[in-house]
Amino acid sequence: MTKDLVSITDLDRDEFMRLLKKAVQLKDDRKAGRGKPLLKGKILAMIFEKPSLRTRVTFQTGIYDLGGMGIYLAPSDIQVGKRETVADVATNLSRWVHGIMARTFAHSTVTGLALNASVPVINGLSDLEHPCQILADFQTIYEKKSTLEGIKLAYLGDGNNVSHSLLLASGIMGMDMRMAFPKGYEPNLEIVGKAESLASSSNGSILLTNDPKEAVDGVDVIYTDVWASMGQKDEAEERRRVFASYQVNEELVAKADNDFIFMHCLPAIRGEEVTSGVIDGPHSVVFGEAENRLHAQKALMVALMGEG
């Protein structure tokens, strides 16, 4: 394993699958009451520049489950890059803790922490990628579909951090990913190029389209996210207008495979990017997906912070 997880591309295909299988094992162990303190005495520093429900609770619960402890560092506590340089924060924390998780705005903050820290750094979310979310997502798909290779996944919405990590992970794992978005809201072109290169080596494929119906035709998985992320709330009204035809609703999902699953990284706005009938319907796996944040991140922490 690499020292850090800054991008989902820090994992190769075999490492990715090992993590997912470990996550499934840790999930089973927890539910059977046979969890082990695999990170006994280890301390995880958790840097938050953005508020969070899932990231904070799953990392803090996860390190506790594994016998360690998490230290929550709020924006007012640390102010990375303002009160103190990224390099100095990384160097200081490396003297005290065994791992760093950072949920930041700028991706450069996470890369700077990883560059300067002597302990593992985990990207809990940045403006470019959300690798921990995608580990949980792919664990969920693996549990529901028993494979990742050849799975058809459609993502509808903004070209944001979640979509970037989905594109890259699909390329790594040989999936057929279709992404539909309005003109002007496309994903990062460098990310797309990297995903296409990965897909060419894994028998996967990447399709970008402005047609949501083309994207969902016959797919196994439909995925969406909020139309206006944190920091974009002033654009919310305009985005509601632009993204209206990309709503995941009953009419659209009828074009997917009969056994499709619906995914969302949450939080969701019912009636905007997805109807209540879909997110609360029989094909939705969003809460199991959210639960898997805990198990996937535990597997990741064991791999990065364990004794080998």
Active site residues: 103, 130, 133, 225, 265, 293
Instruction: For residue 4, give the nearest of 132, 110, 91, 120 by alpha carbon.
Output: 120
Joined together, the tokens standing for residue 120 give 């593992």
Token pair 């016998």 is found at 67
Q: How far apart are CA 30 and CA 254, in angstroms?
A: 36
Q: How far apart are CA 284 and CA 296, in angstroms?
A: 19
Cis peptide before 37 (omega within 30 of 0): no
- Do residues 153 and 176 lie in contact, with contact meaning Cβ atoms separated by under 8 Å? yes
Helix, strand, or coil here: 268? coil
- Do residues 225 and 160 lie in contact, with contact meaning Cβ atoms separated by under 8 Å? yes
Query: Residue 103 carries which DSSP code?
Result: E
Integer distance in angstroms from the first to the last C-alpha of the chain? 9
Q: How far apart are CA 209 and CA 277, in angstroms?
A: 25
Q: How far apart are CA 121 and CA 99, in angstroms?
A: 6
Q: How far apart are CA 26 and CA 16, in angstroms?
A: 15
Q: How far apart are CA 210 and CA 130, in angstroms?
A: 23
- Do residues 126 and 161 lie in contact, with contact meaning Cβ atoms separated by under 8 Å? yes
Beta bridge partners of 206: 177
Q: How far apart are CA 31 and CA 33, in angstroms?
A: 5
Q: What share of the chain is helix, strand, coil (3-state, %, to 5)?
A: 45, 15, 35
